[in-house]
């Protein structure tokens, strides 16, 4: 697996900027729309559970599970961006992930933040 399979986040020039900070240098918040989130629940298939169990006995990274988690987080983030866009936002501030087990059925990944409308400041 290449490094691109372990990454995530947005590509260049997104139409909805997503940041983990409470503000964006060079921009001002014109309007706060409110909380947005993207949610997905994934279950592991039997083959990956068996492989992970065997790998955990000898140690090392569980690459299949890592790749699945990256894909899951990406999907949750895409859903967050879709919700922000649908509500008229062009940015999401204070972006975070929350990951929990969902009733022994899988893993719940929630991407959340505050949808806002930001304006680029003029350079004086």
pLDDT attached to residue 111: 96
Residue 17 has a pLDDT of: 96
Q: How many CB atoms lie within 10 A of CB 67?
A: 14
Per-residue pLDDT 10s for the chain (124 aa) are 555 666 667 777 789 999 999 999 999 999 999 999 999 988 765 455 555 555 566 667 777 777 888 888 899 999 999 999 999 999 999 999 998 887 777 788 999 999 999 999 987 6
pTM greater than 0.75 (yes/no): yes
| CA–CA gap between residue 89 and residue 40 (Å, rounded) | 21
Query: In this structure, are residues 114 and 35 in contact, taking their beta carbons and an 8 Å threshold?
Result: yes
Q: Give the residue from 73, 71, 67 showing the smallest Cα distance to 52.
A: 67
- The region that residue 112 occupies, defined by phi over 0 for left and psi between -120 and 50 for alpha, beta otherwise, is beta
Kindly report the number of other CB atoms within 10 A of residue 90's CB atom.
19
């Amino acid at each position: 697996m290449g490094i691109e399979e372990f990454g995530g986040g947005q590509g260049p020039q997104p139409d909805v900027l997503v940041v983990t900070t409470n503000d964006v240098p060079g921009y001002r918040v014109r309007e706060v729309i409110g909380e947005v989130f993207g949610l997905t629940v994934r279950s592991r298939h039997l083959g990956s559970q068996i492989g992970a169990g065997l790998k955990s006995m000898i140690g090392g990274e569980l690459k299949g599970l890592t790749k699945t988690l990256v894909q899951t987080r990406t999907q949750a983030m895409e859903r967050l961006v879709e919700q922000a866009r649908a509500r008229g936002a062009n940015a999401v501030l204070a972006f975070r992930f929350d990951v929990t087990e969902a009733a022994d059925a899988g893993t719940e990944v929630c991407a959340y933040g505050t949808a806002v409308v930001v304006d680029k400041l003029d350079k004086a």
